[in-house]
Amino acid sequence: MFAPSPSALRSFRTAIRRSLLPWFAAHARDLPWRIEPRPPYHVWVSEIMLQQTRVDTVIPYFHRFLARFPTPAALAEAPLQDVLKLWEGLGYYSRARQLQKAARILVEKHGGELPADPVRLAALPGLGPYTTAAIASLAFGLPLAVLDGNVMRVLARLFAVLDDISLPATRNAFQRLADALLPADMPGAVNEAWMELGALICTPRAPQCGVCPMHRVCRAFKQNAVDAYPKKKKKEKVPHKIVGAAVILNPKNQILIAQRCAEKGMLAGLWEFPGGKQEEGETIEECIARELKEEMGVDLEVGPHLVSVHHAYSHFTITLHTHFARILRGRPQHLECADHAWVTPDQFALYPFSKADLDIIRALRALPSPPRLKDYFPLSG
């Protein structure tokens, strides 16, 4: 495991003060959560939103979220559905649920404020080491080094580390290195400078070494071998699932939507066009009919195709085939869903949906007129 010598650490610390920090002061992006002094709540919300998500995607969500929930107390007392609606399209919805859970704990145990104590911060739902270090350093000036994939990439190149960064032992070694490089007098600025360098200059592909403030000390640059770092094992191919979903129309031309229950994991609490995963040997129509029987206890007639959409989640991808359908027998029950509603297309805006379901809504809105039962099932009476 790599461990830089004390003299190497000294020269990197000097480069951080003399080159990295002045570069950051001159080039830091003007982002809405970068106001001074930093409200801890703003740091927290922005850091949670930025997980796995691009800065330009997050900015409008951040503004809307802060306008609706300006304090942890406002977030704590809101209905979960309102929180999910503001998160709609941002993905990784468990972040929103955890954020609200943590806000409720802040109100109950911490007077509605984030505590300036890393141990208490880390005990809140949804706060891992990275978010804890970001809030502690940026909002409270505490010397905790942030470490994520971006910072590890920068450090791997600066110190020419060839250890596999996907291994926990390598991550621990990088954490020790980042801690050793962090000056106690300005931890927030250095943490943010690393993040900014990784986002703007030392990018995964085609890093701009020519304008990098750290190029004089960068070992990968000196070796002319930047592309060799960081080393990580090849990503395994993610599984692909075929999913069927139904736009179920009733005689009033309303559409059935269902709320996902807690057992459905990552999208729990969101609303959807009901359906599920295709099993071996099934047609997509058979899949939709089976899923609706299992989830809501209704027998369906599955009709014409509306749209097929593709979507990538962190650990799998899906193709979602959507068909119009009508109920032949039964009333919707909540066998494998939390709730259901019959809505008109203009009421979709009241419910939070995942990105894939928003694509179905877009396809419905692109129809020449709102769907009517008799257009798709002329014999339905």
Count of CB atoms situated within 10 Å of the CB of 240: 11
Smallest gap, in angstroms, from Cβ of residue 225 to ligand SF4? 9
Dihedrals φ, ψ of 115, to 5°?
-75, 145
The rounded Cα 276 to chain-centroid distance in angstroms is 22
Smallest gap, in angstroms, from Cβ of residue 205 to ligand SF4? 12
Residue among 218 and 249 whose Cβ is closer to ligand SF4 = 218
Smallest gap, in angstroms, from Cβ of residue 229 to ligand SF4? 7
Query: Which positions touch ligand SF4 (CB under 6 A)?
Result: 154, 157-158, 201-202, 207, 209, 212, 214-215, 218, 220-221, 226
- Rounded Cα distance, 200 and 202, in Å: 6
Smallest gap, in angstroms, from Cβ of residue 19 to ligand SF4? 10
Residue among 4 and 118 whose Cβ is closer to ligand SF4 = 4
Residue among 12 and 65 whose Cβ is closer to ligand SF4 = 12
Place of tokens 């650990």: 315
Report which secondary-structure segment, H or E, holds 11.
helix 6-15
Tell me if residue 88 is catalytic: no
Rounded to 10°, the helix 40-50/94-109 angle is 160
Residue among 102 and 217 whose Cβ is closer to ligand SF4 = 217
DSSP conformational letter for 353: B
Strand-by-strand arrangement of the 299-312 sheet: 275-277, 240-248, 317-329, 299-312
Smallest gap, in angstroms, from Cβ of residue 88 to ligand SF4? 36
Torsion of CA 369, 373, 374, 376, to 10 degrees: 80
- Give the residues across from 301 on adjacent strands: 326
Residues 24/34, Cβ–Cβ less than 8 Å: no
DSSP state string for 76-122 = HHS-HHHHHHHHTTS--THHHHHHHHHHHHHHHHSTTS--S-HHHHH
Buried b (16+ CB within 10 A) or exposed e, 36-68: eebbbbbbbbbbbbbeeeeeeebeebbeebbee
Find the catalytic residue in 36, 47, 192, 282: 47
Residue among 201 and 267 whose Cβ is closer to ligand SF4 = 201
Residue among 140 and 174 whose Cβ is closer to ligand SF4 = 174
Question: Judging by beta carbons within 10 Å of its beta carbon (0-12, 13-18, 19+), is residue 379 exposed, middle or buried?
Answer: exposed
DSSP state string for 18-39 = IIIHHHHHHH----TT--SSPP
- Rounded Cα distance, 335 and 338, in Å: 8
Smallest gap, in angstroms, from Cβ of residue 153 to ligand SF4? 8
Smallest gap, in angstroms, from Cβ of residue 158 to ligand SF4? 5
User: Count of alpha carbons within 13 Å of 359, Cβ hemisphere only?
Assistant: 14
Residue among 96 and 212 whose Cβ is closer to ligand SF4 = 212
Q: Which residues are catalytic?
A: 47
